[in-house]
Structure 1
Amino acid sequence: MTTSVLLALAMPSLACAKVSASADGRQLRLDGGGVTYAMGVDEQGYLQPLYWGPALGADAPLVARHPAELSGFDPAGSVTPQEYAGQGEGLVSEPGLKVAFADGNRDLVLKYRSHSIAGETLTVELSDIRRPLTVTLRYTIDPATGIIARSATVHNGDRRPVRVDQIAAATYTLPAGGDYRLHYLTGRHGAEWSQQEAPVTPALTLLESRRGSTGHGNQPWFALEKQGQSSQTDGPVWFGALAWSGSFRLSVGLDNLGRPRIGGGYNPYDFSWTLKAGESLETPVFYAGFTDHGMGDASRRFHTFQRAHIIPGGDAARLRPVLYNSWEATAFNVTESGQMALAEKAAKIGIERFVVDDGWFGARDDDKAGLGDWSVNRRKFPNGLGPLIGKVKALGMDFGLWVEPEMVNVKSDLYRAHPDWVMNFPDRPRTEGRNQLVLNLARKDVRDHILDVLDRLVSENDIAFLKWDYNRNWTEPGWPGVAIEDQQRLQVQYIRNLYFILSELRRRHPGLEIEGCSGGGGRIDLGMMALTDESWISDNTDPYDRLTIQDGFTQAYAPSAMMAWVTDSPNWANGRETSLDFRFLSAMQGSLGIGANLDHWTEADFASAQRWIAAYKTVRRTVQRGDLYRLISPAPDAATSATFYVSQDRKQAVLFAMLHSSQYRDNGLAIHPQGLAPDTIYRLSVLGGAPLPDGLPAEAQGSFWMAQGLRFKLKGDYKGVAIVFEAKPDHAPSG
């Protein structure tokens, strides 16, 4: 998937956005969603960032002025704020672009050459002051949210090659200040989406992956707020995320005049790209936004944008079906009869999609063999997948399969035939992770083979869904067979070819849906989200741990893409024991799935699950497509957490209140909903049919609930309740 495709995702809603230039062409502006982003050309020809914040009037006096030398230590080139700087002329902050010319020159000074406005896209061309090297910057802005989409393309107009050592999709500059705080997300396998914050200082903060994929460790997402001014509900927040699924780097720090600068793009670690004569290199898209209504509104704006313009299908996409996955029930012991028996039990509780996980293909009896051989194991399925798929569909469900196409076991027909297809350095070890190696998707023959086998698999079977897994990171990322100066293109070309496979597979099979997975949340980003319908955010399915994981995920990404499963107790991750009710209430705060071993369930479990799944379907649209308000985030020192989902038309809302553990006289604080229509009367009920907690009125205006709050007690350990707000028909909000 190219950057132009990603930029185009933002285009349909841009009809009301305004992209403009002053009469003399010295000021350029993008306006939309109550946000203005402006830049200007100074008298020396530098393109400077001028403003990014609440919408300004058309006559706002924004002027770019070139600064004088500050001192011998700070020449003008080092203190000039640049929209996209080359590494040259004394620049000491992070550049947008760093190159080495064929004659050894590494000085690059980029100045404004021209701009154009075509429809709703602003294009600005910069060029070096001496060499025929140009950078094209592209911008769009979404009218509903003010989210900006930016990318850059560098072009070598010389007959001699130019080596690109570092390139950003965009750099953003904010006004000087020492009160900025950075919010970011870190983690590891099973403990993804941990929220961190730190002051923004001259010491550069790097958020990066060197793994070949996004990785569990750092997310390519940031949010900056003003200390003492910003909160969940108020104050300025600048936020954004890079749409790239490979090794990335985001940098955040104050420049030498105290201005925060945020840059993001390909990670320069183990990367270089030699531009031949006439060749160009395009970056991913770096999306970013602003709000003056706090971190909660920043999340909701980004969620709205993602639902409309990133997640496939946009606002018209189908709601995520309730699925069952067979992994915890059978692991590799997959058989036709066993899966049919599970399918019957899944259909009984209202499941809509049945997914067979690992073990259905090749010589796959454990994780040591079979990866790469995507043909049905005839010992396990003597007549192929047809009988099982027929059974699943007859039970009213559609059918899905687990695949891990980018990997190969040494014990496989594919590896025996093509040992050169894996990433490797000659005469170096081939380090295995989870007993597997990584195929080199940067190779066209590997890319085409994977596409061909998956296309055949979906064409020959009635498959509605693929769970696309990726269970290790890169080692020995060598690409023998191409010129030495091109071997480090692997970091970029691999991901480009992955995007090609996914997009082409979807084009050939328009009804096919895909879930992105990498040992849980190891490869979730806006690049993958643009080509997958949902995301598996963690292998940790413990319902209490999940509350923290889900709280972190939704800081950056839309709940509509967030898969969450009900699995067995005690949980494999930590041995914690929880009730089935608590597990359902935790999982239904996203897109609901079941991963428990149904062969171990009692009749009471089946009855409870059937009740909860039916209840979830009554609020599914609100949870998946509504506005999320994180009322009380889960924390080690807090007994209770609460999330609140409000439908787009504000006719329905659902409050999930979750208790870790209680002590005598706990739960004294009221939970205050947000986002309701103030004058609308809402009637309350408990999801699942239980009576309302004592003391809660059955109905009241939205303004009452938001001001007075809900005060009720949860007692015990790992308890929860979901309270539904339904607008009375004769008092429903309009529009």
Structure 2
Amino acid sequence: MPIFEIDGKLWLLETKHQAYAIGFTEKGFLVNTYWGERLDNIRNYPLPRDHFASDSFDSEFETLPEEFPVLNGMKFVEPCLITRFFDGTRDLELDFEKFELDPQANFLRIYLSDSVYHFRVVLNFRVYEHEDIIEKWIEIENMDGVNDAIVKRIFSGNFCLGGEHDYRIIHTWGKWFNEMNISDDSLIHGKVVLESRRLTTSHHHNPSVIFYPNKICESHGEAYAISLGWSGNWKLVAEKNSLEKTRVTVGINDWDFELVLKPQQTFQTPPIYFSWTDQGIRAISHTFHNFIQSHLLPHPNKPRKVLYNSWEATFFNVNLVEQKKLAEMAAGVGVELFVVDDGWFHGRNSDQAGLGDWWHDAKKFPNGLQPLSDFVHQLGMDFGLWIEPEMVNPDSNLYRLHPDWVLHFDKRKQTLARNQCILNMAIPGVQEYLFEKIASLIEDNDIQFIKWDMNRNVSEPGWDREDGGSSCEIWVRYVEGVYSLWQRLAMAFPRVLWQTCSGGGGRIDTGIFRYADQAWLSDNTDPLKRIFIQEGYSLFYPALTMESWVTESGYENTPLDFRFLVSMSGVLGIGSNLLHWSDTEMKIAKKWIHVYKEHREIIQFGRQYRLISPRESEVSAIAYQNDDCSKGVLFVYNRKMESESQTVIIYPLMLERNKVYQFDGLENRQSGADWMQNGVPLVLSGFSALFVPYNML
């Protein structure tokens, strides 16, 4: 059993390799007593104990590892919850109320409450024993029968990292067209803050991070991983105080935030997924890849099809004749999914008009989209469509009818970005309109795939609420509206696969993957840049979700084979204008698509191994291997300018030591131990790439 309860005051949460212990001290504080390696005997876990003030300036809370600190007393640590009650009181005194344990569901609830202001906090934990993941989230309830309670901050949780180590943080940063750069930084005395204030997860930081003490590498070292499942404004604060204690709080960003809890009203935070390992960064990646595939993705076992997207071929000049030509050529090289991107809908001839009017453009498609859909299906491919449902152009029928549906302040001029405004997804009428339009598109045109885009960040986040509530709730209610619409569509059309896109990687997190099957992680498709972006993405997110296209970006420096091999390390797609490709290029495409399909199961569902990082060498390598270690593939990329061939040695540190393996193109048959010791010799020329399958004999 993964959850143990001792005397109603101590709880042990255990997965396959990690353990997390919480309990009440004698003074009644709920503390985290342990997070680390699972122990053999539950009696060996440390018990809760009270701490004491070191002087009149630093109270016991400076060192007390509270599980969920709130604003009260002589406490200066980062609180997870800040409230204001009807009489102006701005703190909480939470006492233990009860707990509920469901061993069948691996689920624990601990109830705390403030008896004076009738305010309840419920800490929720769910254990995924075999996946090595623990999930936690918070529910709050205003039990007052008369008065509102104002919530100024509500984070999903707090973590107290053990010991007095000099912790470091591994996270990703970037911007549009340059996402997922890996950074490894020290935690200073003070605070390190990562956040988004942009209404979405953002291109700039990602809410999945790793903390570690001492040293770490791919295969060795202790690491603590935290991932927030939220697709809106978020905030992570890592604080190392003057007494050498390190805490991490994470949740919905409290910037410009206010939540009004009416009497008897509740609110639930997004979940945090967390894990511990002593086996290095790779183990964290494997844990989260497996968990996302097993428990989050809507279609976890469905192979992702090779797709073609027509955007770069036509841009807004979409028409039936040219789309048919592209579809024929795509089918000829083995594409399985044909996606029409922006430009197909009413009045859409540029980015200045049309968003919001989600029906076909009668001039471009006089008989609707069905003839194109039928043609694509007759070619043996699925049919997909691009939409941007959260956006509206001022030049659209929807905006002229409902200008009040956009985020705005009545007395301020609206800021346009990409000539568009943002619809207020918190308004039920907006959700209903979009559901009807998108549902009609899917039903009428036999659509199997939707690319859901969002091409700007927020401005003027106003909301004229009919119920008189706080407009500062928009940061939460907007995201809840997106989730609600997406879930409703997914339930209505369970066979449709969905892609998350926000100008590339602006909305990638463990929250959106409850609804989206795959992600467009960057608008940058230059393979020399994409290698880095895809490495950062792989820290937490699996190849099954990583859509990657072959385009003309980088064609001056990198051959078509190289571009294909970079894209084949995820969900393979093509975005080039096939009408401009030569017969030779079409043959190359057909060859690599055939090879990809032969090995797709290993790439999409196998374990990924980052063997040589592009941050460390101009020659980089990754591998994918199935669970029983009997089959795998190597991808090797050489970014060096030299044209001369060279021999590089790749050390495949994922083989079974006592089994015999052979790598394609090499006559040697050696044990896994010998290959791992001696390496795999491969010959590479400048700006080239290799794809090397291998098998256990």
Provide the residue aligned with 1:243 in structure 2: 229
Selected match of 2:435 from 451, 462, 466: 451
Rounded Cα–Cα distance in structure 2 between residues aligned with 1:346 and 1:532: 24
Selected match of 1:720 from 671, 689, 693: 689
Shift of 1:125: 1.0
The residue type paired with residue 21 of structure 2 is A
Matched, 1:408 2:392: yes
Question: Sequence identity, in percent?
Answer: 37
The residue type paired with residue 148 of structure 2 is P
Rounded Cα–Cα distance in structure 1 between residues aligned with 2:165 and 2:629: 39
Structure 1 stretch 124-133 or stretch 621-630: which is displaced more? 124-133
Provide the residue aligned with 2:13 in structure 1: 30
Provide the residue aligned with 2:157 in structure 1: 170
Provide the residue aligned with 2:484 in structure 1: 500
SS in 1 for 2:650: coil
Structure 1 stretch 69-78 or stretch 279-288: which is displaced more? 69-78
Provide the residue aligned with 1:90 in structure 2: 74
Provide the residue aligned with 2:594 in structure 1: 614
Contact 2:607/2:627, CA 8 A, preserved across alignment? yes
Provide the residue aligned with 2:493 in structure 1: 509
Contact 2:62/2:243, CA 8 A, preserved across alignment? no
Shift of 1:202: 2.8
Shift of 1:161: 1.2
Shift of 1:312: 1.3
The residue type paired with residue 696 of structure 2 is A
Rounded Cα–Cα distance in structure 1 between residues aligned with 2:295 and 2:207: 18
Matched, 1:346 2:320: no
Shift of 1:136: 0.3
Matched, 1:312 2:292: no
Matched, 1:602 2:582: yes
Rounded Cα–Cα distance in structure 1 between residues aligned with 2:552 and 2:539: 27
1:149-188, aligned counterparts within 5 Å?
A: 149-158=135-144, 159-188=146-175
Contact 1:622/1:648, CA 8 A, preserved across alignment? no
Contact 1:123/1:136, CA 8 A, preserved across alignment? yes
Selected match of 1:335 from 309, 313, 319: 319
Contact 2:18/2:38, CA 8 A, preserved across alignment? yes
Shift of 1:61: 4.4
Provide the residue aligned with 2:507 in structure 1: 523
Selected match of 2:88 from 104, 118, 123: 104
Rounded Cα–Cα distance in structure 2 between residues aligned with 1:173 and 1:61: 16
SS in 1 for 2:579: helix
The residue type paired with residue 626 of structure 2 is S
Rounded Cα–Cα distance in structure 1 between residues aligned with 2:177 and 2:47: 50
Shift of 1:178: 3.2
Matched, 1:672 2:672: no
Provide the residue aligned with 1:64 in structure 2: 48
Matched, 1:681 2:651: no
Selected match of 1:656 from 635, 646, 649: 635
Rounded Cα–Cα distance in structure 2 between residues aligned with 1:111 and 1:186: 40
Contact 1:85/1:110, CA 8 A, preserved across alignment? no
Rounded Cα–Cα distance in structure 2 between residues aligned with 1:606 and 1:707: 40
Structure 1 stretch 125-134 or stretch 444-453: which is displaced more? 125-134
1:211-222, aligned counterparts within 5 Å?
A: 211-222=198-209
Rounded Cα–Cα distance in structure 2 between residues aligned with 1:673 and 1:240: 28
Quickly say closer, same or farther: Cα 1:25–1:112, change in 2 above 3 A.
Answer: same
Rounded Cα–Cα distance in structure 2 between residues aligned with 1:252 and 1:558: 26
Quickly say closer, same or farther: Cα 1:485–1:391, change in 2 above 3 A.
Answer: closer
Quickly say closer, same or farther: Cα 1:662–1:359, change in 2 above 3 A.
Answer: closer
Contact 2:504/2:520, CA 8 A, preserved across alignment? yes
SS in 2 for 1:84: coil
Matched, 1:299 2:285: yes
Matched, 1:624 2:588: no
Provide the residue aligned with 1:357 in structure 2: 341
Provide the residue aligned with 1:592 in structure 2: 572
The residue type paired with residue 190 of structure 2 is A
Selected match of 1:197 from 168, 178, 184: 184
SS in 2 for 1:538: coil
Contact 1:78/1:89, CA 8 A, preserved across alignment? no
SS in 1 for 2:538: helix
Provide the residue aligned with 2:671 in structure 1: 701
1:355-394, aligned counterparts within 5 Å?
A: 355-394=339-378
Shift of 1:485: 4.5
SS in 2 for 1:151: strand
Structure 1 stretch 280-289 or stretch 61-70: which is displaced more? 61-70
The residue type paired with residue 558 of structure 1 is P
Provide the residue aligned with 1:7 in structure 2: none
Matched, 1:643 2:643: no
The residue type paired with residue 694 of structure 2 is F
Provide the residue aligned with 1:52 in structure 2: 35
Rounded Cα–Cα distance in structure 1 between residues aligned with 2:508 and 2:598: 28
Provide the residue aligned with 2:445 in structure 1: 461
Quickly say closer, same or farther: Cα 1:105–1:662, change in 2 above 3 A.
Answer: same
Shift of 1:563: 0.3
Structure 1 stretch 41-50 or stretch 198-207: which is displaced more? 198-207
Rounded Cα–Cα distance in structure 1 between residues aligned with 2:591 and 2:228: 40
SS in 2 for 1:526: coil
Rounded Cα–Cα distance in structure 2 between residues aligned with 1:665 and 1:444: 63
Provide the residue aligned with 2:129 in structure 1: 143
| Structure 2, unaligned runs of 5 or more | none
Rounded Cα–Cα distance in structure 2 between residues aligned with 1:79 and 1:723: 53
Shift of 1:665: 9.1
The residue type paired with residue 170 of structure 1 is G
Structure 1 length normalisation: TM-score?
Answer: 0.92
Quickly say closer, same or farther: Cα 1:581–1:610, change in 2 above 3 A.
Answer: same
Matched, 1:257 2:250: no
Please give the per-residue CA displacement for 1:305-362, whole angstroms capped at 9, x wherever unaligned: 1110111133xx2111000000010101111111001000000000000000111101
Provide the residue aligned with 1:8 in structure 2: none
Rounded Cα–Cα distance in structure 2 between residues aligned with 1:129 and 1:82: 20
Contact 2:15/2:130, CA 8 A, preserved across alignment? yes
Selected match of 1:535 from 489, 507, 519: 519
Provide the residue aligned with 1:437 in structure 2: 421
Provide the residue aligned with 1:711 in structure 2: 681
Please give the per-residue CA displacement for 1:484-517, whole angstroms capped at 9, x wherever unaligned: 5421111111111111111110111111111000
Across the aligned residues of Structure 1 and Structure 2, the Cα RMSD in angstroms comes to 1.5
Structure 2 length normalisation: TM-score?
Answer: 0.97
The residue type paired with residue 560 of structure 2 is L
| Structure 1, unaligned runs of 5 or more | 1-16, 686-691, 729-735
Matched, 1:125 2:95: no
Contact 2:527/2:554, CA 8 A, preserved across alignment? no
Rounded Cα–Cα distance in structure 2 between residues aligned with 1:343 and 1:485: 50
Rounded Cα–Cα distance in structure 1 between residues aligned with 2:172 and 2:673: 34
Selected match of 2:196 from 200, 206, 209: 209
The residue type paired with residue 117 of structure 1 is L
Please give the per-residue CA displacement for 1:138-176, whole angstroms capped at 9, x wherever unaligned: 101211232111100111112211110011111111113
Shift of 1:527: 1.0
Quickly say closer, same or farther: Cα 1:666–1:135, change in 2 above 3 A.
Answer: farther
Rounded Cα–Cα distance in structure 1 between residues aligned with 2:600 and 2:361: 37
Provide the residue aligned with 1:279 in structure 2: 265
Shift of 1:531: 0.3
The residue type paired with residue 196 of structure 1 is S
Aligned residues: 693
Provide the residue aligned with 1:554 in structure 2: 538
